Structure 1
């Protein structure tokens, strides 16, 4: 038989090949056979046209993964029977995992579907539940840090949990830390020892874990560098501001830090003034360069606040201009014009809680200045 694929019968064997052959190729059966071979190889190497598999179907229909995610996950596992995988999904749902949690979990760790739900998974989840971690927090935490499922309960999870508890004291505090999507096993004891060696009290270390636990997960060399920098800046290691300064400085690279310094300098601030305010309120370097510039422009050019006055009330710099500062200033301006308030008290007016502001700066003058509430509400967008 001659090796030729010319003719409509060739399409019965290769349905993805269009049933046409260029007229210039009709003279050579070998050339056509090579052409079809090339098309066939291209077809099977393209995942977008791969034949569906039971594993992909299961990942899509039972786990909720997208077709693309399922194809990637199917490269790591092969589900021949669904009994074990069904049991894994049932166990997860019994511990409060939502469909969103399951999609995230299986996308990041497809092998979980092949684990023994009773011997491997349930003991770890029971440990957390028995130690006061609620199901919603547990689901959020474990779907964010799937490596916990691959860790030894006795050798890794329990020692890490107990070490964490030595600082946070209560299971409720641990639940808060885990709820911030902290990575349990990446807590660096070397970093904590460094803080302790520089006089940072356990209460401050606990606060770091509660506020921003990832701070303690930096590589020791980087962490040491920033700790030394914070101490050099004059932060008192026994104060809570030390923790806030460390968190803020670790979150920035050198270029970002310099860019923010440049913004302050452009408004006439000296490095000493910037550093003094940073020690008092590290959040003044937490906003973007644009937000810092906008805030300084408003306070220094529109309100005529001095650098010294801003340094006295540094928290005002990262309050919302539209939702808080400007509406309150509209009330303050009226009170200043009537001689009912002194300008040096503006900082306090911006910082007090909402109910206290309304009580002391609006309701207090309601009889003589009934328009204050209307002015305030219109600036707040209520009216």
Structure 2
């Protein structure tokens, strides 16, 4: 019987229909997949394989990037990858670099890539900082970086400043130093700017080197000279707002100054407003006029410095953002009258972000048990750093109170606004031998959980 079954089994299998027909096997979708695979006879096969195996790209991306380069020998690409890894770049950083600039794998290793990497290393770039800088402008690795760095050094920039400048705008290295940079610096020197002042300008606003000398820099400086008169004032304005490359119109300065003078603002206050960072005097005249009008309506005295501070603070806020900040204060129970009273006492309290306002108010009200109305009467406390100043100081007070060492009367506002040197002498240095934890508390190493004894406001 067993022999009979075995003899008939092949016959049954032979006539059983196949689950996968030939038609299905050679479907269109299958052909597309096969066509996408690298072919050993295809000139791009080595490139695709290298991009997959060594760089970690998917087949689809490898095929796409292979259209931009043709690897005939993997020796140079491998050396490029090894060099990048040696300087602290991770695989994800390398993948990003190659995807942005595939031809980097074929770069001149000995004459360009390796010297540039060593140069950037000498400036302090390595690992994360190198990756961040290269992500902004991968082509910097194939630039004449040495000539640019030597140019910056020759004009008074320290390596630390050059590193900061490079991090801000690595695309500077794409420019011809003698053709693009030298004429600008010679022009600034012709105005009487010292090498130190030029170095400060480049450090603060490297983009000025990418700005047209004839179309932007010269016309703007001529207008500034007409308005400001002295080179010192011109330099201060340039440093404060970097107007050489800003789209803001220098021509707005004079009408805005005239408006202030017409309201009785003294020249000394006008200059302070002019030298303020993000100077409101460079704003559109219509918006500036609105702000001045609002400041006048609130009762600020044009002869007082708070008038200028109010203009600066308001200029930093759109109308929508201003209302959001007012609402943030209101959410802690302050009336609109109390909010504007706080603004009149310290106009810069409205320069704080909405997030900071909520965070600071929450800490003072919930952790230090202050009444919101008391904060509105002492808005200076909002200008300090919560993490770097207020919480560490509160932690010091916490330690001293737990050890029964706080005897003199001191209020929260006084404690927060006290000069750092005085605070150190009065509460840290004085007790550090008796209670070493005050040092750790001041360093932010002891968690603040609340004051065990209520302090005066």
How far residue 334 of structure 1 moved from its aligned partner, in angstroms, is: 2.7
> In the TM superposition, what are the counterparts of 1:9-48 in structure 2 within 5 Å?
15-16=43-44
1:270-321 deviations in Å (ceiling 9; x for gaps): 1011001011112222223332223223323333323443233211123233
Instruction: Say which of 187, 202, 206 aligns to 1:143.
Output: 206
Distance 2:215 2:44 in 1: 49
* TM-score between both structures, scaled by the size of structure 1: 0.65
> In the TM superposition, what are the counterparts of 1:40-189 in structure 2 within 5 Å?
69=137, 94-96=154-156, 98=162, 101=165, 107=171, 115=179, 120-128=183-191, 130=193, 134-141=197-204, 143-146=206-209, 148-151=211-214, 156=219, 158-163=221-226, 165-166=228-229, 171=232, 175-180=235-240, 182-184=242-244, 186=248, 187=250, 188-189=252-253
| Residue aligning to 2:436 | 374
| Residue aligning to 2:270 | 205
Q: Against the structure 1 CA distance between its residues 87 and 152, is the aligned structure 2 distance closer, same or farther, given a 3 Å change threshold? A: farther
How far residue 248 of structure 1 moved from its aligned partner, in angstroms, is: 1.9
How far residue 135 of structure 1 moved from its aligned partner, in angstroms, is: 3.6
Is residue 237–residue 275 contact of structure 2 (8 Å, CA) maintained in 1?
Answer: yes
Q: Against the structure 1 CA distance between its residues 144 and 273, is the aligned structure 2 distance closer, same or farther, given a 3 Å change threshold? A: same
Distance 1:327 1:86 in 2: 45
- Is it true that 1:342 corresponds to 2:409 in the alignment? yes
Is residue 237–residue 243 contact of structure 2 (8 Å, CA) maintained in 1?
Answer: no
Instruction: Say which of 290, 312, 317 aligns to 1:247.
Output: 312
How far residue 326 of structure 1 moved from its aligned partner, in angstroms, is: 3.3
| Residue aligning to 1:300 | 365
1:7-54 deviations in Å (ceiling 9; x for gaps): xxxx99x94599xxxxxxxxxxxxxxxxxxxx9xx958x996789999
Distance 1:334 1:249 in 2: 41
Distance 1:265 1:143 in 2: 42
Is residue 151–residue 157 contact of structure 1 (8 Å, CA) maintained in 2?
Answer: no
Q: Secondary structure at the match of 1:274?
A: helix
Task: Figure out how many residues of one structure are paired with residues of the other and give that number.
Answer: 333
5+ residue gaps, structure 1:
1-10, 19-38, 73-81
Is residue 106–residue 112 contact of structure 1 (8 Å, CA) maintained in 2?
Answer: no
| Residue aligning to 2:256 | 191
How far residue 322 of structure 1 moved from its aligned partner, in angstroms, is: 3.6
Is residue 274–residue 281 contact of structure 2 (8 Å, CA) maintained in 1?
Answer: yes
| Residue aligning to 1:353 | 419
> In the TM superposition, what are the counterparts of 1:257-336 in structure 2 within 5 Å?
257-329=322-394, 330-331=396-397, 334=401
Is residue 109–residue 146 contact of structure 1 (8 Å, CA) maintained in 2?
Answer: no
Distance 2:374 2:329 in 1: 15
Is residue 328–residue 376 contact of structure 1 (8 Å, CA) maintained in 2?
Answer: no
5+ residue gaps, structure 2:
1-39, 47-62, 69-98, 121-132, 447-457
Structure with higher Rg: it is: 2
1:88-144 deviations in Å (ceiling 9; x for gaps): 8875553246476478668379676684777x4453132255457524213225522
Distance 2:419 2:224 in 1: 37
* TM-score between both structures, scaled by the size of structure 2: 0.56
Q: Against the structure 1 CA distance between its residues 336 and 256, is the aligned structure 2 distance closer, same or farther, given a 3 Å change threshold? A: farther
Is residue 216–residue 244 contact of structure 2 (8 Å, CA) maintained in 1?
Answer: no
Is residue 235–residue 279 contact of structure 1 (8 Å, CA) maintained in 2?
Answer: yes
Is residue 60–residue 70 contact of structure 1 (8 Å, CA) maintained in 2?
Answer: no
Distance 2:306 2:112 in 1: 52
1:180-202 deviations in Å (ceiling 9; x for gaps): 45214743322222222222222
| Residue aligning to 1:225 | 290
RMSD, aligned CA: 4.8
Is residue 334–residue 373 contact of structure 2 (8 Å, CA) maintained in 1?
Answer: no
Is residue 269–residue 307 contact of structure 1 (8 Å, CA) maintained in 2?
Answer: yes
Distance 1:323 1:47 in 2: 39
Q: Against the structure 1 CA distance between its residues 104 and 179, is the aligned structure 2 distance closer, same or farther, given a 3 Å change threshold? A: same
Distance 2:412 2:152 in 1: 54
